[in-house]
Structure 1
Amino acid sequence: MSRRFLNSPAAYALGMFAMMVPSQAFSSFYSYYYVEKLGLGVGLATAARMVYLIWDAVNNPMAGYLSDRTDTRFGRRRPWIFASIPLFMLTFILVFSAPSGLGDTGLFVWFLTALILFESVATLLWVNYGALFPELFRGDRLRARASAVQQAYQIVAILIGTALTPIIYDAIGFGPMAVVYSFVFAGFMLWFALSVREDEGARREKPLPLVAAFRETLKNKPFWIFNLANSFAQTVNGLLASMIPFYAKYALGIPESQVAILMAAVFVSIIPLVAVWYWVVRKLGGLRSWRLALAVYGLSAIPLWFGQSLGGGIAAGIVVGFGMAGFLVTPAVLSGRIIDLDAEATGRRREGVYTAVAGFITRSSGLISALAFWIVGMIFGYVSGDDPGPHPETTFRVLISVVPLILLAISCGISLFMRDLDADAGAGRRPPVRKGAGVSSQTN
C-alpha cells in the first residue's frame, strides 16, 4: 500500500462506501419490505422504532465513551471496527430474512429484534468511523476536500443501495440481496480499516471521567444547535429514500421495475453536484454554506408534489438531488470545528463521545420519519400494502414533498441560532476554568 494513499481522503471514504451500501438499502427498503411486502402495520413498525430509540439513547453515547477510552497498539477506533464487521454482516442478513407465516405478533417481534441487533452493531461502526474524521483531517480546507471525496463515495454507495437494490431483490429476493451486500461491505470495510492509521498522541491522552465527559458535551451549546438542526434535515434524507418506492407506485403509477430509474435520477445527479457545494463551502465558509444548503434542500422538495409520471419524477428527483448534495457536504466542516474547539477547551480530543451523542441525535430522525409516516397514514387512511386506504396517492405526495419542506424549515430556523465559531476564536476568547470540573471549557 502506498504511503500517499494511507490516511488520504480516498482511503477514509472507502469506509463510507462500505457502510452506506447496506445502510442505504436498509433505510430505503426496510419499511417497504415489512409494511408493503410482509403486511406489518405502520403502527407496529413505528412502535418498534420507538423501542429501539430508547435503547439507542443508552448504547450510542456509551459506544463513544468506550471508544475514547480504548488504548491499543492498533489505536482507539480500529479495533472496534474490525470486531464489528462480521456482526454487521450477520445482523443485516437477519433484517431481510424474516420467516414466512409469523403472523402480526411474530413479525413484529422479529422486526424489533433484528432492528435492535442491526442498529446496535451499526452504532459501533458509525461512531468509530466518524470519530476518525476530525483526527485525520485538520483545517477547514482539508476537511471540505475530504468531505467532498467522502460524499462522492457515499453517493455511489447510495446509488447502489437504492437504484440497484430493486433490481437485485426482484431477481433473487430480499434475503440473498442482503447476503450479497454483506460481502460487498466486508471487502471495502477491511480495505478502509487497513488503509488508515490513528494519531499515536491522541490515544495516549488521559480521558475525562464518564460524568465529566458527558457534562462537557451536554453544555456545549453550538454542538446542540448544530445537531438538532441536522436531525430534522437527516430525517428528510431517510424519508425521501424510504418513500420513493411508495411514491413511484401510488403517485407516479409506475411499475416496480422502474423504481431503480427514479432513484438513479436523484442519486446520480448528486455526484457532480457535490463539487458545486465544495466550491460553495470554500467561498462562503462552513456556517453560511450549511445554512444555505438547508434552505435549498427544503425548496428542492417542492417539485416532487407535481410529479405525474416517470419523466416528471425524474425531473423533480434531479432538483432534490441538488439540495441533498448540499446537506451531504456542508456539515462536516462545522462538526470538525466544534470538536477542535472542545479539544482546545478541555485539553483532550473526544471525537468518540461527540460523534456518539451527535449520532444519537441524528439517528433519532428515524423516529421522526416513522411518526410522520404513521400520522400522515392515519390522516389519509393508509395502513399497509394490504390496506392502502382511499387516498394512497395523496399520502405519499405529502410524505415526500410537504413533510420534508416543513422539517427543513424547522432546521433552517434552528440554524439561525448558531454563532460563527471562527469569529469567536478570532476574537481571542479564552474559555474560563469551571470550578470542580478539572478542565477548562468554552463559555456558551
Structure 2
Amino acid sequence: MEKKEKLPFITNILYGMGDFGFSMNNSIISAFFSVFLVTVVGVAPGLVAIILFVGRSWDFVNDLLVGYISDRTRTRWGRRRPFLLFGTVPFGLSFLLLWLHPNFGQTGLVIYYSLAYIIYEALATFVYMPYFALTPELTSDYDERTKLTSFRMMFNITGSLTAYILPLLIVGNDWTQATSRNVIIMAVAAGALAAAPYFGVFFGTKEKKEYQSEKLPKFWPSLKAAFKNKPFVFGALMYLATWMAIIVIESNLQFFILHIIRRQSQNIIIMVSIFVTAIFALPFWNWVSKNWNKRRAYIIGVGFWSMVMIVLIFMNPQTPFWLILILCVLAGIGVSAGQVLPWAIIPDAIEWEEWHTGERNEGIFYSLVTLLGKIGMAIAQPLSLLVLQISNLQTGQDAVQPPSALLGIRLVVGPIPAMCLIAGILIAIFYPLERTQHRQIVDDLRTRRAALKAKRT
C-alpha cells in the first residue's frame, strides 16, 4: 500500500475510541443485567431468558434496516457519520431504562424490561451499525485494517474492563447487597461515558468521497451478495462462534465468582487481570497476523483460550488466588485474539465483493455480522440461563445454592463456551481468503478506480 494511504495515528485513536461506549454498555448488560434481575429485582432465571430473547429478537430486523439505510445515505458528512452525530445522546439516555426497578409483578416486570431492552437496542443500533461500517472506508490495506481493528479492540476491551470496574465501584462487589439507588447512579454514569466518544469519531474521521458517489444499492441484491461471498460467510461464522463464547462467559462470570470460587472481595482484581492482559496482548496478535495471517492467528489464539476455559470447571473456594490470577492472565491473552481477529477479517471480504460485483455494501455486511451477534446473544445467553434454571439456581439476595446449581454454573462458564470456541476454530480452518490473494484484489481494485477516475475527468 502506498505510504500516503496509511492512517494517521490520531485517526486510529479517535476511531478506536468509539467502540468504548458500545463495548462498555454491552458488557455491563451481559455481565450484570441477569444478576441484577435475578438477585436484586427477583425475576426467575427462566423469565429473564424470555426478556433477553424478546429484546434481542427485535434486532433481527433492526440491524439490517439501519445497515441498509446507512448504505443509501448521502449527506455532506458522508454515509455513516450523521448517525453518530444525531444518535449518540438518545443511545446514552436509553441505557437508564434497563436499570430502573418498577414495583410490578413478575408478568409486569417481563413486559417492562422487554420493552426497555427493545428501545435500548434500537437506539444503540442507530449508532454502532454505521460506526462498524466505517472500518473498510478508512483504509483498504490488509495490515492497516488489522492495526485499526487493534486500536478499536483496545478501546473495546478497555470498555469491557470499565464495565466491570464501574458497577463494582458504585454498586459494590457483592450484588446480594446492591441497592436500587446505586444501580441507577451506575446506569447514568455508564450512559454518559458510553455516548461521549462517538462525538470524537464524528469529528475525527472522514469517509472517502468515492464511496459517497457510488450508485445506491438495492436491499435484496445486497443481501444475496453477502450470502454468496465465501470469505464473508466464513468470517461472520467465526465471529458468531467467538461472540457466543464471550456472551456465555460474560453472562455467568459473576455467578461463578459469587458462588463457585466465592471471591466477591477480589472481584475487581479478577476482572482487571483479564482485561488488562487482553489489552497488552493486542500488539502481539497484531504482530502474529502480520507475520502469518489472520486465519492462523485466530486458530492459535482461540485454541489456547478454549483450553483455559475447560480448566475452570475444576475451580472451587479452596483454589489458591495466585492460581486464579494465572488463569485470568491466560484467559486474557485468548480474549484478545478472539476480539480483534474476527473483526479484522470482515473488511477484507468487502473488497472481495467489490472485486466480483463492482459494488460495496458495507452497511449490509456489517449489519449481518452484528445481526449474527444478536442471534448468538439471543440463543446463547437465554440458553445458559435455562441451564441455570434447570439446575435449580436460587433467586434473591440471601439465596443458598444447591450442588446442582453449582454444577450448572461450572458448565456455563467452562465447557460450554469452550465448545463454541472450538466450533470457531473448525470454521477458520476452511477460511478461503489469504493475505496474498487479498493484496492482489486490492491492487486490481486500485487500478480499476484509477481508470474510472481518469475516464470521468
Alignment of 1:15-414 (within 5 A): 15-99=18-102, 101-170=103-172, 173-255=182-264, 257-308=265-316, 309=319, 310-382=321-393, 384-385=395-396, 388-414=401-427
CA distance in 1 between counterparts of 2:21 and 2:386 reads 34
CA distance in 2 between counterparts of 1:128 and 1:245 reads 32
Residues 57 and 378 in structure 2, CA contact (< 8 A), matched pair in contact too: no
> How far is the alpha carbon of 1:348 from its aligned partner?
2.2
CA distance in 1 between counterparts of 2:255 and 2:383 reads 14
Could you say what secondary structure the match of 2:88 adopts?
A: helix
Q: Which amino acid aligns with 2:144?
A: L
Q: Which amino acid aligns with 2:395?
A: S
Q: Please say which of residues 261-270 and 66-75 is displaced more in the overlay.
A: 261-270
Could you say what secondary structure the match of 2:115 adopts?
A: helix
CA distance in 2 between counterparts of 1:427 and 1:84 reads 38
CA distance in 1 between counterparts of 2:101 and 2:73 reads 36
> How far is the alpha carbon of 1:424 from its aligned partner?
5.0
Residues 228 and 362 in structure 1, CA contact (< 8 A), matched pair in contact too: no
CA distance in 1 between counterparts of 2:207 and 2:111 reads 40
Aligned to 1:434: none
Q: Please say which of residues 87-96 and 415-424 is displaced more in the overlay.
A: 415-424
Q: Compared with structure 1, are the counterparts of its residues 329 and 96 closer, same or farther at alpha carbon in structure 2 (3 Å cutoff)?
A: same
Q: Compared with structure 1, are the counterparts of its residues 413 and 82 closer, same or farther at alpha carbon in structure 2 (3 Å cutoff)?
A: same
> How far is the alpha carbon of 1:339 from its aligned partner?
0.8
Q: Compared with structure 1, are the counterparts of its residues 231 and 387 closer, same or farther at alpha carbon in structure 2 (3 Å cutoff)?
A: farther
Q: Deviations for 1:120-150, whole angstroms, at most 9, x for unmatched residues?
A: 1122222111000111022111112112222
Q: Deviations for 1:159-180, whole angstroms, at most 9, x for unmatched residues?
A: 1111332111239611111111
Q: Compared with structure 1, are the counterparts of its residues 97 and 379 closer, same or farther at alpha carbon in structure 2 (3 Å cutoff)?
A: closer
> How far is the alpha carbon of 1:183 from its aligned partner?
1.6
Q: Deviations for 1:360-406, whole angstroms, at most 9, x for unmatched residues?
A: 01221212322431342244222534584443322211111111111
Q: Please say which of residues 131-140 and 258-267 is displaced more in the overlay.
A: 258-267
Residues 163 and 261 in structure 1, CA contact (< 8 A), matched pair in contact too: no
Q: Deviations for 1:399-428, whole angstroms, at most 9, x for unmatched residues?
A: 111111111122222222321344556788
CA distance in 1 between counterparts of 2:56 and 2:254 reads 25
TM-score, normalization by structure 2 = 0.87
Q: Compared with structure 1, are the counterparts of its residues 187 and 379 closer, same or farther at alpha carbon in structure 2 (3 Å cutoff)?
A: closer
Runs of 5+ unmatched residues, structure 2? 1-6, 173-177, 445-457
Aligned to 1:12: 15
> How far is the alpha carbon of 1:247 from its aligned partner?
0.5
Q: Please say which of residues 299-308 and 72-81 is displaced more in the overlay.
A: 299-308
Equivalences, count? 425
CA distance in 2 between counterparts of 1:272 and 1:118 reads 31
Could you say what secondary structure the match of 1:45 adopts?
A: helix
> How far is the alpha carbon of 1:323 from its aligned partner?
0.7
CA distance in 2 between counterparts of 1:322 and 1:425 reads 27
Q: Which amino acid aligns with 1:135?
A: E
Question: Of 421, 424, 429, which aligns to 1:416?
Answer: 429
Residues 6 and 196 in structure 1, CA contact (< 8 A), matched pair in contact too: no
Matched-pair identity in %: 24
Residues 45 and 389 in structure 2, CA contact (< 8 A), matched pair in contact too: no
